[in-house]
Amino acid sequence: MSPFSISRARVLISLEDRNRTIEELCSKDGKTQEEIAKIIGLSQQRILKILENTTSGSTNIELTREKQVALVRLILKGEKQEAIAEKFDVTQGYVSQVKTKFYDGALKAYRDEKLLKREVAERIGLQCEEIDQILGTFGDLLNFTPQAPLSCIPEPP
């Protein structure tokens, strides 16, 4: 039985085997945390915690904020996480963690804190168009329309 049928078949496996499977799905198969969560039957947050606690799921290197922004920009351009990981000499799991941190941060600032997109962009260090892209992945929230990024236009003095 393949590890892809774990959640559907309700197969009992040890935590060690489960964590190894999660690590392999991330590092070898290039699956995102969201994809792994669906496969295994856990939340994306739980997958993140498991990857943070595994040897190859974490990295000894913490990228600078500027490099994290550059990494997210490559994701937004459609580059594969594995390729990005090689460029920055980090694991694919780390790339996924940075993506999740930026995407969740943008969503929280926009939806929960009610910041304008330009304010979100300034806080995160991205351009308004990039915030549009990120928010667009969450669907239609707060009447979000990517064709009209009016909140990115600076307010007149």
Encoded tokens for 112: 């929960």
Q: Are residues 95 and 129 in the same domain?
A: yes
Q: What is the C-alpha separation between 86 and 67, in angstroms, rounded?
A: 13
The residue range of the domain holding 27 is 1-58
- How does pLDDT run across 3-57, given as a tens digit for each residue? 444 545 566 778 888 888 888 888 777 788 888 889 888 888 888 888 877 655 4
Q: Are residues 135 and 98 in the same domain?
A: yes
Q: Are residues 133 and 69 in the same domain?
A: yes
- Higher confidence at residue 147 or residue 98? 98
Q: What is the C-alpha separation between 22 and 26, in angstroms, rounded?
A: 6
Say which residue the tokens 């300034």 belong to: 122
Q: What is the C-alpha separation between 111 and 116, in angstroms, rounded?
A: 9
Q: Please list, in sequence order, all residues whose beta carbon lies within 8 angstroms of the beta carbon of residue 89, skipping any fewer than 6 positions away.
A: 61
